[in-house]
Chain A
Amino acid sequence: MRKIRVLAAKPGLDGHDRGIKVIAAALRDAGMEVIYTGLRQTPEQIVAAAEQEDVDVIALSVLSGAHDYLFPKVMELMRAKALDDVLVIGGGIIPEEDIPGLKSVGIAEVFGPGTATTAIVDYITANLKRQV
């Protein structure tokens, strides 16, 4: 069995990277391979990185409120490239009422403040779309 490959990504201009870095460290400690994009990635850059790195999972993090534009944009580009077997999850400061809309465009799950990293590890492991 190979390692699960995860792209941890910060779309948009948001500089809050404490959460994504903590999650990256936790996923790594759980045996996954994590590629972190760094800050200020456009949706195009994120999707290109996902394709190039051949990842199983994209974990998007936005705390600036721009998730309503950025998450659907990433999903639109994923569909355009037919990257349908990549599990895409999101997190950050995301109001409860926004979650159904994000799920309807293909974000598999949204994790809010206070989520245990173990919950994210378990979710990824249970919901991968590709064989590892």
Chain B
Amino acid sequence: MSDFAEKLKAWQAKVDKLAAKHPERKPQFTTISGLPVDRLYLPENPGEDYAAKLGLPGEHPFTRGVQPTMYRGRFWTMRQYAGFASAAESNRRYRYLLEQGQTGLSVAFDLPTQIGYDADHDMARGEVGKVGVSISSLADMEILFDQIPLDKVSTSMTINAPAGILLAMYIAVAEKQGVKPEQLRGTIQNDILKEYSSRGTYIFPPKPSMRIITNIFAYCASDVPQWNTISISGYHIREAGSSAVQEVAFTLANGLAYVKAAVEAGLDVDAFGPRLSFFFNAHLDFLEEVAKYRAARRLWARLMQERFGAKDPKSLMVRFHTQTAGCSLTAQQPSNNIVRVAFQAMSAVLGGTQSLHTNSMDEALSLPTTEAVTIALRTQQLIAYETGVGDTIDPLAGSYYVEHLTDEIERQAEEYIKKIDELGGAPEAIERGFVQREIQQSAYDYQKAVETGSRVVIGMNKFITKEPFTGKLLRVDPQVREDQAAALAKLRAGRNQAAVDQGLAALKAAAQADGNLMPHFLTCVRAYATLGEICDTLRGVFGEYRAPSTI
């Protein structure tokens, strides 16, 4: 028997055992016309080349997906990014989404929260509750997750610079529900490098930021073992204007920097490697996107082996969330966005995503309304339950074109990573402005292509009609800031101030030394120290990041 035939036999046995324990969605899968659908399709005589480049689902090099049964076992997690105004209002939206069949939560925080300012800070004027929910202390977090059982849902939080503090609040809320940290499932974005290059919600300089991230890796490995400690994000790199190749390259280069920092801090790569997760964009070029996810999986598996000697298969896997491309949506003829989102979501599913956010049709106009969010969620449900694309694994494998694109994206992304290596790694490449300039150039090229008409955008530069948007828009009441400020004043007056002062003093001492900051975050949030107070303490020790000028 050839090597591959033996591998296939072992894989088959493994999958049969797994399917016996966790049955697939259906005992038998058929097309709409009744033709049987197998779990996996292979070339007629798979040889060494096939084994090396594509392999089997759930096995190295993971090109065909990270799970052995993929969506035959269960569909991806349908996770709509949501949050606005007050914690109470966001809590209502979450419970609505869960009732509508959403399977995980994804918390959007407002900008003051993301940048570590309390709602009553002067820099927060105009921004409170606008792009997400305002969280200034544990008291807000308790309201946000009221009546949501944290042992049952998984929660993703888009929080970076203060990620450890928000995670500490989540752990503290769980404790009050009687849920232990080891039961918690979810993700913090915690990816500071792409904040410097693409998204902008940084607080501290790179060095202390990398240290906090490493602290979180270490703390979660022992205390919150099911938590995804980072979501290494290409999404925002793409939104900032990068190409698909740059998205893969800059994301994986950032990933390598985090792994390197953690290994240098003395952590075992296989202790934290399995909890790394990724986040990609689903843009318009359908087949390029499918190939992109496949290429990212194969390349990361190789880099983790070659550079860090990772052995645990889970350390080699790119498990990823996908969001459809906000930047591709148009304010003109906004209903067309429903169709754009559907194609983009389909590419993510054909590329093997683990979870998915589908954008709402009105996002080029304002925050999404409940109606628009519901259509977006239904779009994913349609793909899952009606189209049949999840019934066989990696259905586009073997397409000459898709395999060519997969190879090409992998090759070009690796070339970029080598260039970043030569600059000293991702943090250095970002501090020098290299990554930012590459992205800016791509964004400008894209804009010029749209303006000359060589790239068609329906409703914008072709098939233009003048239809005013007649739908409703979601508005955030400016009163939210006043209410939040009043609540904060009350909180500060009613808490045990000595406990707060003691917690912050201990945090300061730990930040000046080199201990793990996570236990201090927990002590501070439990005493109802505010996010702003905790971040100000750290600002006092670490200083603030100043971005280089790149234009």
B residues near A39, Cβ cutoff 8 Å:
200, 547
* In the bound complex, CA of A117 to CA of B327 (Å): 16
A residues near B199, Cβ cutoff 8 Å:
15
B451 touches A116 (CB 8 A): yes
| Contact A25 B551, CB 8 Å, known A17-B200, A96-B468, A114-B332 | yes
A30 sits at the interface (CB 8 A) = no
B residues near A65, Cβ cutoff 8 Å:
127, 130-131, 366-367, 476
Residues of B231-248 contacting chain A, CB below 8 A: 239-241
B444 touches A64 (CB 8 A): no
* In the bound complex, CA of A33 to CA of B245 (Å): 32
| Contact A16 B443, CB 8 Å, known A113-B330, A114-B330, A116-B451 | no
Mark B329-365 against chain A: 1 for CB-CB distance below 8 A, else 0.
Answer: 0111000000000000000000000000000000011
A21 sits at the interface (CB 8 A) = yes
A residues near B476, Cβ cutoff 8 Å:
65
Task: Using CB atoms, name the residue of chain B closest to A62.
Answer: B126
* In the bound complex, CA of A34 to CA of B454 (Å): 27
A residues near B444, Cβ cutoff 8 Å:
21-22, 25-26
Which single member of A18, A66, A69, A95 contacts B473 (CB below 8 Å)? A95
B residues near A68, Cβ cutoff 8 Å:
126, 478
Residues of B505-550 contacting chain A, CB below 8 A: 547, 549
Which single member of A26, A64, A96 contacts B469 (CB below 8 Å)? A96
Mark A68-102 against chain B: 1 for CB-CB distance below 8 A, else 0.
Answer: 11100100000000000000000001011100000
B residues near A73, Cβ cutoff 8 Å:
125-126
Task: Using CB atoms, name the residue of chain A closest to B331.
Answer: A113
A18 touches B240 (CB 8 A): yes
B residues near A42, Cβ cutoff 8 Å:
123
A48 sits at the interface (CB 8 A) = no
A residues near B443, Cβ cutoff 8 Å:
18, 21-22
B460 sits at the interface (CB 8 A) = yes
A117 touches B126 (CB 8 A): no
B125 touches A69 (CB 8 A): yes
* In the bound complex, CA of A80 to CA of B495 (Å): 42
* In the bound complex, CA of A16 to CA of B469 (Å): 24
* In the bound complex, CA of A95 to CA of B451 (Å): 23
A114 touches B460 (CB 8 A): yes
Query: Could you tell me the distance in whole angstroms from the C-beta of A50 to the nearest C-beta in chain B?
Result: 17
A38 sits at the interface (CB 8 A) = yes
Residues of B97-154 contacting chain A, CB below 8 A: 111-112, 114-115, 117, 123-127, 130-131
A114 touches B331 (CB 8 A): yes
Query: Could you tell me the distance in whole angstroms from the C-beta of A116 to the nearest C-beta in chain B?
Result: 5
Mark B268-305 against chain A: 1 for CB-CB distance below 8 A, else 0.
Answer: 00000000000000000000000000000000000000
| Residues of chain A at interface, number, CB under 8 A | 35
Residues of A7-25 contacting chain B, CB below 8 A: 12-18, 21-22, 24-25
Query: Could you tell me the distance in whole angstroms from the C-beta of B256 to the nearest C-beta in chain A?
Result: 24
A residues near B115, Cβ cutoff 8 Å:
13, 40
| Contact A66 B365, CB 8 Å, known A13-B115, A14-B200, A96-B469 | no
| Contact A64 B547, CB 8 Å, known A13-B115, A14-B111, A17-B200 | no
Residues of A23-65 contacting chain B, CB below 8 A: 24-26, 34, 36, 38-40, 42, 64-65
Which single member of A13, A24, A25, A26 contacts B127 (CB below 8 Å)? A13
B440 sits at the interface (CB 8 A) = yes
A residues near B131, Cβ cutoff 8 Å:
64-65
B447 sits at the interface (CB 8 A) = yes
A residues near B549, Cβ cutoff 8 Å:
36, 38
Which single member of B112, B123, B551 contacts A36 (CB below 8 Å)? B551
A118 sits at the interface (CB 8 A) = yes
A38 touches B111 (CB 8 A): no
Task: Using CB atoms, name the residue of chain A closest to B111.
Answer: A13
A15 touches B127 (CB 8 A): no
A18 touches B327 (CB 8 A): yes
Query: Could you tell me the distance in whole angstroms from the C-beta of B285 to the nearest C-beta in chain A?
Result: 18
B201 sits at the interface (CB 8 A) = yes
A93 touches B365 (CB 8 A): yes
B residues near A18, Cβ cutoff 8 Å:
239-241, 327, 443
B residues near A95, Cβ cutoff 8 Å:
365-366, 473
* In the bound complex, CA of A13 to CA of B551 (Å): 19
* In the bound complex, CA of A51 to CA of B331 (Å): 34
Which single member of B195, B451, B457 contacts A118 (CB below 8 Å)? B451
B123 touches A13 (CB 8 A): yes
* In the bound complex, CA of A70 to CA of B117 (Å): 17
* In the bound complex, CA of A24 to CA of B131 (Å): 25
* In the bound complex, CA of A14 to CA of B451 (Å): 26
B residues near A116, Cβ cutoff 8 Å:
451
* In the bound complex, CA of A12 to CA of B130 (Å): 12
A12 touches B126 (CB 8 A): yes
B residues near A15, Cβ cutoff 8 Å:
111, 195, 199-201
Q: What are 11 A-to-B residue pairs whose CB atoms are below 8 Å?
A: A17-B240, A18-B241, A21-B440, A26-B444, A34-B551, A64-B127, A65-B366, A69-B125, A113-B331, A114-B460, A118-B451
Q: Using A22-B444, A38-B549, A97-B473 as known contacts, list a sample of 18 further A-B pairs with CB atoms less than 8 Å apart, ordered by residue number in A.
A: A13-B115, A13-B123, A14-B111, A22-B440, A26-B447, A39-B200, A40-B200, A64-B111, A65-B127, A66-B127, A68-B478, A69-B126, A69-B127, A93-B365, A96-B468, A113-B330, A113-B331, A118-B451
* Residues of B that sit less than 8 Å from A by CB: 111-112, 114-115, 117, 123-127, 130-131, 195, 199-201, 239-241, 327, 330-332, 364-367, 440, 443-444, 447, 451, 457, 460, 468-469, 473, 476, 478, 547, 549, 551
